[in-house]
């Protein structure tokens, strides 16, 4: 179900941006762009794919890895070139690049976008030694690696429905145990979530974040067995849970919800939640309004709008992470496409059709923290849509 490489779209991008070719260079599977093109293959040597703005695309592979490229060559019409020695690698690589001046590679100037920095400095030196100008492939890489297929979208939406159900069960699990007088910890809840995922053939990779009171202010808190807080009446509870179907090339759903162990949520918590919710909804409105106006949006722009909203409410210094991360095909919940970020990085990549991402502003005050996380997908016709449930008020657990 891997998304087919859209060579026409890539070549069009190269032409529009006056880039002569995209060179995907890989050593032992270290460049995910290679994996997205040829699939999961066992690679042990240096290999490259060259996609020019005009003309036939080429593979340069070591004789040991030769067969790993057969399927891609047949599917996309790549011309295969085989090398054996390092001298031959250099000679054939230079020949492939002859007549081409500007080459895009998985490189980011001054490491501005580490998510795209997969080519080592030595390889950059090698290509520059051929008289080439290297530019970042960040936007091309997104076209190749982060576009969702219909299968990806359906897997995400179905996972989102089940993750939301597990979230509801987790809050119910807390409430029932407290009502029954049974001791329950953050770790107990995270393991309950894990078991529910397993029942549904969902895979998370790591345990859910379940943070009570001051632990909810620790963005990536991990409850540990024997070293997590007991949940009691009057506690604020943050649950951040994510999962995908346990099958190749499905897409995660990732949400964060807040709960309060009581019947009436204190204004201290409710007021901060309203600010976070407002920031979240500001992001959604900005994205949807921009689409309706036909305006292109880059990742940093969304973060800037959200951060300005929280700052104007007086809590800017307590929003300590980017607004959202890429979501898409692959093994990780944090995928390889555009992030909503003008804080940790300045993400200039465009939010293009058929990509997904989270929107998850938060305010972390030390004694407690609040985050609200939803997922979004850019539909070709409808524009940015929310694919997960949206929390409107803190859950009253009792």
pLDDT, one tens digit per residue, over 286-318 is 999 999 999 999 999 999 999 999 999 999 999
Spatial separation of the C-alpha atoms in residues 71 and 38, rounded to whole Å: 7
* Per-residue confidence (pLDDT) for residue 3, from 0 to 100: 55
Torsion 208-213-219-224 (CA) sign: negative
Spatial separation of the C-alpha atoms in residues 333 and 322, rounded to whole Å: 15
Percent of the chain scoring above 70 in pLDDT: 99
* Per-residue confidence (pLDDT) for residue 140, from 0 to 100: 94
Residue 55 Rama label (left phi>0; alpha psi -120 to 50; beta): left
pLDDT at 250 over 90: yes
For the stretch 193-230, pLDDT in tens is: 999 999 999 999 999 999 999 999 999 999 999 999 99
* Per-residue confidence (pLDDT) for residue 40, from 0 to 100: 85
User: What average pLDDT does range 108-114 have in this prediction?
Assistant: 94
pLDDT at 273 over 90: yes
Spatial separation of the C-alpha atoms in residues 364 and 276, rounded to whole Å: 11
User: What average pLDDT does range 337-364 have in this prediction?
Assistant: 98
Domains and CATH numbers, the chain: 7-145 (3.40.350.10), 150-396 (3.90.230.10)
Spatial separation of the C-alpha atoms in residues 146 and 193, rounded to whole Å: 28
Spatial separation of the C-alpha atoms in residues 216 and 261, rounded to whole Å: 14
Q: What is the dihedral of CA 14, 19, 21, 24, to 10 degrees?
A: -90
pLDDT at 251 over 80: yes
> Which among 257, 223, 238, 252 has a CA at the least distance from the CA of 331?
252
* Per-residue confidence (pLDDT) for residue 247, from 0 to 100: 86
User: What average pLDDT does range 73-94 have in this prediction?
Assistant: 97
User: What average pLDDT does range 270-297 have in this prediction?
Assistant: 98
- Mean pLDDT, the chain, as a whole number? 96
pLDDT at 235 over 70: yes
> Which among 247, 228, 30 has a CA at the least distance from the CA of 119?
30
CB 340 within 8 Å of CB 322: yes
CB 61 within 8 Å of CB 69: yes
Cut 0.85: pTM above it: yes
233 CB neighbour count, 10 Å cutoff: 12
pLDDT at 1 over 50: no
Spatial separation of the C-alpha atoms in residues 372 and 324, rounded to whole Å: 11
DSSP labels, 98-130? TT--EEEES--GGGS-GGG--S-HHHHHHHHTT
Percent of the chain scoring above 90 in pLDDT: 94
Judging by DSSP bridges, how do beta strands 79-83 and 209-212 pair with one another?
unpaired
Task: Describe the strand order of the beta sheet including 326-327 as a list of residue ranges.
Answer: 326-327, 356-359, 374-379, 383-386
Task: Give 259's strand partners.
Answer: 237, 395
For the stretch 9-31, pLDDT in tens is: 999 999 999 999 999 999 999 99
Spatial separation of the C-alpha atoms in residues 237 and 394, rounded to whole Å: 9
> Which among 361, 365, 364, 393 has a CA at the least distance from the CA of 267?
393
- The per-type count for the chain, helices as H runs and strands as E runs, is 10, 17
For the stretch 310-346, pLDDT in tens is: 999 999 999 999 999 999 987 889 999 999 999 999 9
Query: Residue 223 burial by CB count (10 A; 0-12/13-18/19+): exposed, middle or buried?
Result: buried
User: What average pLDDT does range 335-360 have in this prediction?
Assistant: 97
| Secondary structure of residue 380 in the 3-state scheme | coil
């Amino acid at each position: 179900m891997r998304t087919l490489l859209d060579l026409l779209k890539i070549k069009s991008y190269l032409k529009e941006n006056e880039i002569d070719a995209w060179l995907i260079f890989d050593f032992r599977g270290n460049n995910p762009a290679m994996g997205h093109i040829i699939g999961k293959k066992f690679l042990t040597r240096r290999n490259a794919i060259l996609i020019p703005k005009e003309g036939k695309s080429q593979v340069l592979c070591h004789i040991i890895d030769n067969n790993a490229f057969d399927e891609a060559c047949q599917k996309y019409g790549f011309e295969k070139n085989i090398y054996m020695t390092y001298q031959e690698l250099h000679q054939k690589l230079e020949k492939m690049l002859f007549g081409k001046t500007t080459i895009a590679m998985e490189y980011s100037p001054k490491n501005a976008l580490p998510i795209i920095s997969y080519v080592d400095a030595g390889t950059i030196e090698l290509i520059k030694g051929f008289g080439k100008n290297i530019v970042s492939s960040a936007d091309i890489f997104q076209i190749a690696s982060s576009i969702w297929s219909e299968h990806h979208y359906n897997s995400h939406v179905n996972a989102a429905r089940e993750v939301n159900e597990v979230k509801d069960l987790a809050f119910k699990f807390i409430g029932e145990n407290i009502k029954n007088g049974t001791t329950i910890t953050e770790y107990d809840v995270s393991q309950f979530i894990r078991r529910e995922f397993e029942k549904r053939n969902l895979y998370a990779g790591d345990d859910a974040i379940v943070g009570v009171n001051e632990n909810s202010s620790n963005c990536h808190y991990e409850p540990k067995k024997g070293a997590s807080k007991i949940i009691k009446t009057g506690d604020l509870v943050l649950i951040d849970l994510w999962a995908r179907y346990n099958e190749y090339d499905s897409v995660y759903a990732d949400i964060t919800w807040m709960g309060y162990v009581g019947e009436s949520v204190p204004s201290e918590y409710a007021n901060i939640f309203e600010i976070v919710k407002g920031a979240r909804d500001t992001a959604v409105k900005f994205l949807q309004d921009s689409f309706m106006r036909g305006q292109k949006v880059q990742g940093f722009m969304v973060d800037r709008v959200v951060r300005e909203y929280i700052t104007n409410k007086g809590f800017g210094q307590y929003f300590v992470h980017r607004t959202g991360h890429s979501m898409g095909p692959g093994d990780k919940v944090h995928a390889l496409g555009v992030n909503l970020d003008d804080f940790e990085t300045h993400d200039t990549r465009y939010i293009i059709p058929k990509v997904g991402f989270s929107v998850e502003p938060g305010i972390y005050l030390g004694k407690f923290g609040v985050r609200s996380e939803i997922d979004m997908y850019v539909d070709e016709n409808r524009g940015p849509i929310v694919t997960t449930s949206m929390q409107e008020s803190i859950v009253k657990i009792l």
